[in-house]
Amino acid sequence: QKEVEQNSGPLSVPEGAIASLNCTYSDRGSQSFFWYRQYSGKSPELIMFIYSNGDKEDGRFTAQLNKASQYVSLLIRDSQPSDSATYLCAVRYTGTASKLTFGTGTRLQVTL
Amino acid sequence: EAGVTQFPSHSVIEKGQTVTLRCDPISGHDNLYWYRRVMGKEIKFLLHFVKESKQDESGMPNNRFLAERTGGTYSTLKVQPAELEDSGVYFCASSQYLGRGTDTQYFGPGTRLTVL
């Protein structure tokens, strides 16, 4: 059983729409949650992290965390073609510096 | 400030040969991580250094893999002898832990290893 689950996609949204990316995790002891964006052939780039229940907003991005339901999501408002990439959800199980456990990623395609 | 760098960017070797991957973390980052992505699978953790000490090596697949971080700066990951299943992209990441929730791991561009 995978510890971090994501729909592989592709998720296709028109330009200007809201893209909603979801991630579920299995360990209730998980502490911190991260969203990375990865363009093809490039390194994962951190978009946001969240560790408290609720929403966290940064520009066009909003991370949502629901620990009771064990899911974390990323909303991208006003999607742009440049947002087309693979979005990786990662979970850290302690409150200190430690390894990340990744999902397989969701490929997002923003169409014109 | 320079990011995490990795060398080489690509390596093609034959089964049974030895390959050494290098990672230079962001200056001042005590934490250094190695991860691997096998085609079609998720990025998986290999090990974690804090300065020159191995904090967690639970993800190392077997004893053909040897990681070092002498002096607490750059790190090397040696695969000897390489097997076909070792093919994948090896990522290095570094971080400086500043308190709960602020351990941001910055990833390098990765080394694509192909074992023939």
Mean pLDDT of chain B: 93
CA distance B73 to B11: 23
Interface with B, mutate which of A89, A100, A106 (most B CBs under 10 A): A100
Please say if the pLDDT value at position A1 is more than 60. no
Nearest to A55 by CA among A46, A45, A47, A66: A66
Share of chain B above pLDDT 70, in %: 95
3-state secondary structure of A99: coil
Q: What is the structure's pLDDT at B101?
A: 54
Share of chain A above pLDDT 90, in %: 78
Picking from B48, B107, B110, the nearest residue to A99 by CB comes out as B48
| Strand stretches in chain A, DSSP E | 4-5, 11-14, 19-25, 32-38, 45-50, 54-58, 61-66, 71-76, 85-92, 101-102, 106-111
Residues of chain A found within 8 Å of residue B45, distances taken between Cβ atoms:
99-101
Put simply, the chain B residues between 60 and 89 with a CB less than 8 A from any chain A CB are none
CA distance A10 to A71: 20
Residue B25: asked if its preceding bond is cis (omega within 30°), the reply is no
Q: Is residue B46 within 8 Å of B59, Cβ to Cβ?
A: yes
Q: What is the structure's pLDDT at A28?
A: 81
Q: Is residue B112 within 8 Å of A111, Cβ to Cβ?
A: no
Picking from B41, B56, B91, the nearest residue to A99 by CB comes out as B56
* Tokens encoding A32: 């911190």
Ramachandran quadrant class, B84 (left: phi over 0; alpha: psi -120 to 50; beta: rest): alpha
Nearest to B11 by CA among B79, B67, B106, B62: B79
Q: What is the structure's pLDDT at A97?
A: 72
The nearest alpha carbon in chain A to B90 belongs to A43
Picking from A43, A97, A101, the nearest residue to B91 by CB comes out as A43
Q: Which residues of A touch B (CB under 8 A)?
A: 2, 4, 31-32, 34, 36, 42-46, 49, 51, 88, 92, 95-105
Q: Report the gap between the CA of B37 and the closest CA in chain A (Å).
A: 10
Rounded to an integer, the average pLDDT of A7-18 is 95
CA distance A57 to A46: 14
Share of chain B above pLDDT 90, in %: 85
pLDDT tens, residue by residue, B69-106: 988 899 999 999 999 999 999 999 999 877 665 678 99
pLDDT tens, residue by residue, A60-110: 999 999 999 999 999 999 999 999 999 999 999 876 678 999 999 999 999
